[in-house]
Amino acid sequence: MIRIACLLATTDVAPDPSVQRALLRVALSHSPRVEDAGGGRVYLDASGLHGLFGDEPRLAARLCDMAGAAGLTARVGIAGTRLAALAAARLGPGVTVVDPDGDAAYLAAAPLSLLDLSKDLSARLSRWGLRTLGELAALPTAGLFERLGGEGVRLQRLVRGEDPSPLVSWKPALLFEESVECEWGMETLEPVVERLGELAARVCTRLGERGLAADGWEWVCRLDEGRLHVGALAPAVPMTDGAAVAGLLRLALEARPPRGIVRALTLRARPARITAMQESLTDRSRPSPRLLTATLNRLVGLVGADSIGAPALLDSHRPDAVGLGAYAPLPISPSPGKRAIRGEGRASGNTGALALRRLRPPAPAAVTLTSGRPVALRSSRLSGRIVAGVGPWRSSGEWWSKQAWLQDEWDVELADGTLCRLANDGSAWHLAGIYD
Amino acid sequence: MAIPIESSPPPGWDREGIDGLLGLFPPGRLSEIVGPRSSGGSSLLLALIARITTHGQVAYLDGMDALDPASAATAGVDLSALLWVKCGSRLRTALSAADLLARCPGFSLIVLDLDELGPVPFSAQMRLQRAVEDSDAALVVHSARHREGSPASLVVATRRLAPRWMGLHPLIRLGGLRSEVSIARSRLHSSTLSPLGRGQGEGQTWALDWSL
The pLDDT of residue A301 is above 90: no
- Residue A330: predicted pLDDT: 64
Which residues of B fall within a CB distance of 8 Å from A358? 65-68
Please indicate whether, in this complex, the C-beta atoms of A351 and B212 are within 8 angstroms of each other.
no
Mean pLDDT of B143-164: 89
What is the Cα gyration radius of chain A?
34
Main-chain phi, psi angles of B111, to 5 degrees: -110, 125
Q: For residues B41 and B155, is the Cβ–Cβ distance under 8 A? A: no
Measured between alpha carbons, how far is A302 from B97 in angstroms, rounded to an integer? Answer: 7
Q: For residues A214 and A240, is the Cβ–Cβ distance under 8 A? A: yes
Neighbours of A322 (CB within 10 A): 20
H-type alpha helices, A222-372: 242-255, 289-303, 336-342
Measured between alpha carbons, how far is A149 from A152 in angstroms, rounded to an integer? Answer: 6
Between A227 and A240, the higher pLDDT residue: A227
Question: 3-state DSSP: chain B helix, strand, coil percent, rounded to 5?
Answer: 25, 30, 45
Chosen from B15, B91, B96, B104 to mutate, greatest number of chain A CBs within 10 A: B104
Please indicate whether, in this complex, the C-beta atoms of B81 and A284 are within 8 angstroms of each other.
yes
- Residue B111: predicted pLDDT: 95
Please indicate whether, in this complex, the C-beta atoms of A307 and B88 are within 8 angstroms of each other.
yes
Please indicate whether, in this complex, the C-beta atoms of A351 and B209 are within 8 angstroms of each other.
yes
Measured between alpha carbons, how far is A95 from A107 in angstroms, rounded to an integer? Answer: 16
The pLDDT of residue A276 is above 70: no
Mean pLDDT of B58-62: 95
> Closest approach of chain B CAs to the CA of A347, in angstroms?
6
Longest dimension (CA), chain A: 101
Neighbours of A382 (CB within 10 A): 19
Which of the residue ranges A247-251, A339-343, A414-418, B58-62 would you say has the lowest mean pLDDT?
A: A339-343
Residue A434 forms beta bridges with which residues?
A357, A420
> Closest approach of chain B CAs to the CA of A302, in angstroms?
7
CA dist A391 → A377, A388, B171 (Å) = 15, 10, 9
Measured between alpha carbons, how far is A350 from B209 in angstroms, rounded to an integer? Answer: 6
Would you call A19 helix, strand, or coil by DSSP?
helix
pLDDT in tens, A342-401: 444 566 667 889 999 999 999 999 999 998 889 999 999 889 999 998 989 888 888 888
The pLDDT of residue A12 is above 70: no
H-type alpha helices, A186-317: 189-209, 242-255, 289-303
Mean pLDDT of A184-205: 90
**For residue A300, what pLDDT band results from cuts at 50, 70 and 90?**
confident
Sheet of A262-273: strands edge to edge?
A176-186, A262-273, A212-223, A228-233
**For residue A338, what pLDDT band results from cuts at 50, 70 and 90?**
very low
DSSP state of A228: E
Q: Give the amino acid at B176.
A: G
Nearest CA in chain B to A291: B104
DSSP state of A416: T
The pLDDT of residue A257 is above 80: yes
pLDDT in tens, A30-83: 998 999 988 889 999 998 888 888 888 999 999 999 888 888 888 999 999 999
Tally the residues of chain B.
212
The pLDDT of residue B192 is above 50: no
3-class SS string, A65-76: HHHHHCCCCEEE
Measured between alpha carbons, how far is B59 from B139 in angstroms, rounded to an integer? Answer: 10
By the 10 Å C-beta count (0-12 exposed, 13-18 middle, 19+ buried), B172 is classed as exposed
Which residues of A fall within a CB distance of 8 Å from B18? 347-352
Please indicate whether, in this complex, the C-beta atoms of B18 and A302 are within 8 angstroms of each other.
no
Which of the residue ranges A228-237, A273-282, A389-398 would you say has the lowest mean pLDDT?
A: A273-282
The pLDDT of residue A210 is above 90: no
> Closest approach of chain B CAs to the CA of A421, in angstroms?
10
Q: For residues B186 and B194, is the Cβ–Cβ distance under 8 A? A: no
Three-point CA angle A103, A106, A108, nearest 5°: 105
By the 10 Å C-beta count (0-12 exposed, 13-18 middle, 19+ buried), A298 is classed as buried
Residue B154 forms beta bridges with which residues?
B31, B186
> Closest approach of chain B CAs to the CA of A244, in angstroms?
14
* Helix, strand counts (H, E) of chain A: 13, 18
Which residues of B fall within a CB distance of 8 Å from A352? 18, 43-44, 46-47, 75, 208-211
What is the Cα gyration radius of chain B?
17
Between B10 and A10, the higher pLDDT residue: A10
In chain A, % of residues over pLDDT 70: 92
The pLDDT of residue A337 is above 70: no
- Residue A362: predicted pLDDT: 92
In chain A, % of residues over pLDDT 90: 36
Task: Round the average pLDDT of chain A to a whole number and report it.
Answer: 86
Measured between alpha carbons, how far is B154 from B32 in angstroms, rounded to an integer? Answer: 6
Q: For residues B97 and A303, is the Cβ–Cβ distance under 8 A? A: yes
Measured between alpha carbons, how far is A177 from A204 in angstroms, rounded to an integer? Answer: 10
Residue A92: partners with Cβ closer than 8 Å, 6 or more residues away:
A75, A77
Q: How many CA atoms lie within 13 A of A55 on its CB side?
A: 6
**For residue B182, what pLDDT band results from cuts at 50, 70 and 90?**
very high
